[in-house]
Amino acid sequence: LGHRLPDTVRADFPILAQHPGAYLDNAATAHKPRAVLDAITGYYTTTNSNVGRGYHELGRRSTDVFEQAREAVRAALGARHADEVVFTAGTTDSVNAVADGLGRRLLGPGDAVLVSGMEHNSNLLPWRRLAEETDARLLVAPVDEHGRVDVAGFADLLGPRVRLVAVSHVSNVLGTVNPVAELIAAAHRHGALVVVDGAQAVPHRPVDVRALDADFYCFSAHKVYGPMGVGVLYGKRELLAELRPPRVGGGTVKGVSATEPVRYVPVPARLEAGTPNVAGAVGLAAALAYVDGLGWDAVRDHDQHLVRYAVRRLSERPGVRVIGAPERTPSGIVSFVVDGIHPYDVGGHLDERGIAVRCGVHCASTFLDSLGLVGTVRASFAVYTTPSDVDALVAALDSVRPGFWTTEHPTTRFL
Ligand code: PMP
């Protein structure tokens, strides 16, 4: 079933007809199906009005569709309550909201935040800045030879001073899946709260925040076929209630007088100051419904088939080395290097042949440094990616030659 998925879905994505090349940069952002584009246009065409102020019919309808979108996200994440879903601008925004809103309260001199050695800058820099500004320590958990966070090494770093843990569910560099449920359980045994960066997980696997027991879970709509500029911060109800709003302003207060203390409304509205991205939330709900309609079994089968095919075809080529073991837990990402040729030169060569990949350090330079790599070439897949897209990539590698960039790197540890 999954093998035929692209044949049935390609017509759903109008951009594919405009760009005949192979788009293998889906981990950066995925294309949008017509259902999402129509939902956004439909919202502005029929419903557009500000939310939370029920003075007139359109305003009430707009509030309804916004809250329906929240409910759709709740259901997709398996969250207990819709008010545990906060709409943000994306993963980066969600992580920053927790770091600023809770981290500053929890951390003091001598405390620690534990991250993993593979984090995207969006799940690293907010914690690094927080640690610097609170005189706390930033601890970094090791990554094992398969490109997953090492559970034992992670557990060794936990202790009474570790208040917060931030870890990605799926690596945006290697496409490997971290044992987040185990990591969360270990962190909880030591009383730490866990923030999961689910940016690369949500497009590829059903997520159940309750089964994981995640305290916070963040993702972006645009990587799961939804629009840019909108994302989600899931948080357990009692923890969201503790969050200092990242911004204050309209829509967050019960009343303001010149003399009395400000009385804020409950979450999630308290954490969504200003006019929210209602069309974005509606588009995200349409995207989640779209993926749900395809069925997770079909998406997973397709993912496995494609990742394994790509790993096999790439590994057959002399001088090409796949990094990590993406075929063990396929998540739509295969990262590789071509011996002696800088990833930028490979990427430029592929671009000239109509093949879009991402090359370089993927916003995770500390991870790439630890692997002893100047970067990788990352091919990332979506439901519309075909084996012939992979064939085009592999064929184009035939003619790649060293170019402008040097591949020299001070260390040489490969996974
Ligand atoms: N975390 C990971 C693992 C990612 O892949 C990305 C997107 N590249 C982000 C965080 C940041 O997401 P956004 O840019 O949508 O905020």
User: Which of 265, 183, 282, 179 is CA-nearest to residue 227?
Assistant: 282
Q: Taking CB atoms and a 6 Å cutoff, what residues make up the pocket around ligand 1?
A: 90-92, 120, 122-123, 168, 172, 197, 199-200, 220, 363
Average predicted confidence (pLDDT) for the chain:
94
Residue 199 pLDDT > 90, yes or no? Answer: yes
Residue 411 pLDDT > 90, yes or no? Answer: no
Atom number, ligand 1, closest to the C-alpha of residue 231: 15
For 280-291, what is the mean pLDDT?
98
Ligand 1 site-directed mutation target among 363, 365, 366, 378, most atoms within 8 Å of CB: 363
Q: Which helix (H) or strand (E) holds 356?
A: strand 355-356
Atom number, ligand 1, closest to the C-alpha of residue 362: 8
C-alpha 117 – ligand 1 centre gap (Å): 16
Torsion 93-94-100-101 (CA) sign: positive
What is the architecture of the domain spanning 37-292? 3-Layer(aba) Sandwich (3.40)
Ligand 1 site-directed mutation target among 172, 222, 230, 233, most atoms within 8 Å of CB: 172
C-alpha 240 – ligand 1 centre gap (Å): 21
SS3 category, 294: helix
Atom number, ligand 1, closest to the C-alpha of residue 92: 16
Domain boundaries, the chain: 2-31+295-397, 37-292
Percent of the chain with pLDDT strictly greater than 70: 97
Atom number, ligand 1, closest to the C-alpha of residue 93: 16
C-alpha 93 – ligand 1 centre gap (Å): 10
SS3 category, 16: helix
Q: Give the C-alpha separation, 356 to 351, whole Å.
A: 6
Confidence of residue 415 (pLDDT cuts 50, 70, 90): very low
Confidence of residue 402 (pLDDT cuts 50, 70, 90): confident
> Residue 148: is it exposed, middle or buried by C-beta count within 10 angstroms (0-12/13-18/19+)?
buried
**363 is known as an active-site residue:** yes
* Closest C-alpha residue for ligand 1 atom 6: 199
C-alpha 123 – ligand 1 centre gap (Å): 8
Instruction: Please name the fold of domain 2-31+295-397.
Output: Aspartate Aminotransferase, domain 1 (3.90.1150)
Q: Give the C-alpha separation, 208 to 217, whole Å.
A: 10
For 42-56, what is the mean pLDDT?
92
SS3 category, 226: coil
For 284-297, what is the mean pLDDT?
97
Ligand 1 site-directed mutation target among 25, 96, 122, 333, most atoms within 8 Å of CB: 122
Residue range 107-134, pLDDT digits in tens: 999 999 999 999 999 999 999 999 999 9
Residue 31 in contact with residue 384, Cβ under 8 Å? yes
C-alpha 151 – ligand 1 centre gap (Å): 23
Confidence of residue 2 (pLDDT cuts 50, 70, 90): low
C-alpha 220 – ligand 1 centre gap (Å): 7
* Closest C-alpha residue for ligand 1 atom 14: 92
Strand 355-356 relative to strand 22-23, pairing: parallel
Residue range 156-195, pLDDT digits in tens: 999 999 999 999 999 999 999 999 999 999 999 999 999 9
For 35-48, what is the mean pLDDT?
98
Ligand 1 site-directed mutation target among 220, 333, 358, most atoms within 8 Å of CB: 220
Atom number, ligand 1, closest to the C-alpha of residue 170: 3
Q: Could you say which of 363, 368, 397, 415 is catalytic?
A: 363
- Give pLDDT, residue 414: 45
For 30-59, what is the mean pLDDT?
94
Beta strands in 201-317 (DSSP E): 216-220, 231-235, 253-255, 263-264
